[in-house]
Amino acid sequence: MRTSLPKSPHIHSRWRRIGSAAVTAAALVLAGVGTAAHASAATPTHPKPVRTKAIAAAVAKAHVQYTRQCGDTPKKGYAACHALRVTSGTTAFQEEQAAKKGVAPRTVKPTAASDSPTGYGPSDLQSAYGLTSAASSAGAGRTIAIVDAYDDPNAESDLAAYRSNYGLSSCTSSNGCFTKVAQDGSSNLPTADSGWAGEISLDLDMASAICPNCSITLVEANSSSMDDLGTAVNEAVSLGATSVSNSYGGSEASTDTTYDSEYFNHPGVAITVSAGDSGYGAEYPATSQYVTAVGGTSLSADSSSRGWSESVWNTSSTEGTGSGCSAYDPKPSWQTDTGCSNRMEADVSAVADPATGVSVYDSYGTSSSWNTYGGTSASSPIIAGVYALAGTPGSSDYPAQYPYGKAGTSALNDVTSGSNGTCDTDYFCTAGTGYDGPTGWGTPEGVSAFSAG
């Protein structure tokens, strides 16, 4: 077993930008050009935008800056979380809010605990993924486990604030809905860490947004080592979770198949893993043959019958959803793409672009309790929640195979535009009709693609 780190490094910040074309588009909007109207999404709480989706997305990306919550590349045998916190700028959600009101958007300024949400909330996400009916009635009796490193001392109170703001039912330790334990199942919690606390808040809030009736178990690993995180996954399964979300990853290594057998081989449990935030390239444990690898998209409201559209999340050559062909993990029998002889990442996807990010309530070590987050750390718990809504997996099944059985049907939104980098085999890094690496088979349209039926 590997020695645990005492604490993860402090948050590392960078400025993020897009290219001149998007900035030019943003300038056109700010000058009053390109204001064709389009319809609102199919939910009464989603604002009616008046700018085209392409221009709104360009404006958002031109203005958003964000930081990695858990640093950059971890050392061998360790993982970094995939949460990206917006530090300033204007998100697509704010653009749409402002357009509805006919005023300039309020930029993100994390200076006060009373700041209001600035990203997509539960009704937006449920609308985008066809979950409104299921989310209102399903999930009772099922448990989503969140596995992360270190402790978030404010996890329960922050979760309560998020759920209260959006009118979701109470989920507390006193009513039995929320449980927080260490990796050994005890109350001897690890050292607190503000970086991973933001990750924890993101995960808890996204699980709540998608499956408000589910119970939630937070299992906190002693460190970000794969051994500690894997031990926490085993504990989550032993505590009865039917879905386990893991929003972290690191470089692949020849030892990954050993981790597979020790920590991730849990038939009958939907284990989701984020695909990474560094653009094209495979990461572990997303490449484990036993998990659902979850890629990331940019999500925008539009005038289609769905009310939303998505493309591959890609901010730059080193900023975007991960994907790729594993160097070590074998291909599971249910994965049928022919260009990669080993495990291919990803399987499905959901929103991850910080410029089209989600609202998160996190008060530990931040200047503002309400924050906007992105990264594939958002998409992993979203898909874990969809699995929970869909029902308990078959006892001998690996639920990652379920979307493959509904490939090419209306149960999934096929994402066909965008790329996350440069690769020799097009579908490894470029979206297209059918399966592709960055978005897998697409995003949820209801729950049927995530159940054995």
Question: At residue 21, does pLDDT exceed 80?
Answer: no
Distance of alpha carbon 255 from the chain centroid = 26
Burial of 333: CB neighbours in 10 Å, binned 0-12, 13-18, 19+: exposed
Q: Which of 52-61, 148-157, 184-193, 355-364 has the lowest mean pLDDT?
A: 52-61
Q: Which of 38-52, 137-151, 300-314 has the lowest mean pLDDT?
A: 38-52
CB atoms within 10 A of CB 169: 11
CA–CA separation, 228 vs 155, rounded Å? 20
25 or 342: whose pLDDT is higher?
342
Distance of alpha carbon 210 from the chain centroid = 12
- DSSP β-ladder status, 248-249 and 80-81: antiparallel
Write down the mean pLDDT value for the chain.
85
What pLDDT score was predicted for residue 89? Answer: 79
DSSP 110-161: ---TTPPP-SB-HHHHHHHTT-HHHHHH--TT-EEEEEEESB-TTHHHHHHH
Q: How confident is the model at residue 109 (pLDDT cuts 50, 70, 90)?
A: very low
What pLDDT score was predicted for residue 149? Answer: 97
What pLDDT score was predicted for residue 366? Answer: 79
Q: Give yes or no for a contact between 266 and 241, defined as CB atoms under 8 angstroms apart.
A: no
Q: Helix, strand or coil for residue 82?
A: coil
178 or 53: whose pLDDT is higher?
178
CA–CA separation, 310 vs 143, rounded Å? 29
CA–CA separation, 385 vs 218, rounded Å? 14
Average pLDDT over residues 158-180: 97
Q: Give yes or no for a contact between 347 and 403, defined as CB atoms under 8 angstroms apart.
A: yes
What pLDDT score was predicted for residue 60? Answer: 52
CA–CA separation, 129 vs 136, rounded Å? 14
CB atoms within 10 A of CB 92: 28
pLDDT exceeding 90 applies to what percent of the chain? 73
Question: At residue 443, does pLDDT exceed 80?
Answer: yes
Question: At residue 4, does pLDDT exceed 50?
Answer: no
Question: At residue 42, does pLDDT exceed 70?
Answer: no
CA–CA separation, 283 vs 129, rounded Å? 26
- DSSP β-ladder status, 358-361 and 308-312: unpaired
What pLDDT score was predicted for residue 98? Answer: 64
Q: How confident is the model at residue 62 (pLDDT cuts 50, 70, 90)?
A: low
Question: At residue 441, does pLDDT exceed 60?
Answer: yes
Query: What would the two tokens of residue 406 be?
Result: 């509904």
Nearest residue to 349 (alpha-carbon basis) of 398, 417, 266, 303: 417
Cα distance from N-terminal residue to C-terminal residue, the chain: 39
CB atoms within 10 A of CB 432: 16
The continuous run of DSSP H or E covering 245 comes out as strand 243-246
CA–CA separation, 374 vs 85, rounded Å? 6
Each residue's pLDDT tens digit, 361-374: 999 987 779 999 99
Q: How confident is the model at residue 117 (pLDDT cuts 50, 70, 90)?
A: confident
Q: Give yes or no for a contact between 449 and 409, defined as CB atoms under 8 angstroms apart.
A: yes
Give the CA count within 13 Å in the CB-facing half-sphere of 397: 21
Average pLDDT over residues 155-168: 97
Q: Give yes or no for a contact between 313 and 276, defined as CB atoms under 8 angstroms apart.
A: no
Q: Which of 33-37, 240-244, 329-333 has the lowest mean pLDDT?
A: 33-37
- DSSP β-ladder status, 215-221 and 143-149: parallel
Contacts of 19 (CB under 8 A, 6+ apart): none
Could you tell me if residue 409 is left (phi over 0), alpha (psi between -120 and 50 degrees) or otherwise beta?
beta
What pLDDT score was predicted for residue 246? Answer: 98
Query: What would the two tokens of residue 23 be?
Result: 């900035």
Average pLDDT over residues 409-419: 96
What pLDDT score was predicted for residue 51? Answer: 40
CA–CA separation, 403 vs 415, rounded Å? 14
What are the C-alpha distances in Å from 185 to residues 153, 204, 231, 232, 236?
A: 17, 18, 10, 8, 8
Question: At residue 206, does pLDDT exceed 80?
Answer: yes
Dihedral angle over CA of 38, 43, 46, 48, nearest 10: 30
CB burial string 385-424: b at 16+ within 10 A, e below: bbbbbbbbbeeebbbbbbbbebbeeebbbbbbebbbbebe
Question: At residue 14, does pLDDT exceed 60?
Answer: no
Burial of 306: CB neighbours in 10 Å, binned 0-12, 13-18, 19+: middle
Question: At residue 448, does pLDDT exceed 60?
Answer: yes
Q: Which of 42-46, 53-57, 177-181, 271-275 has the lowest mean pLDDT?
A: 42-46
Average pLDDT over residues 104-122: 63
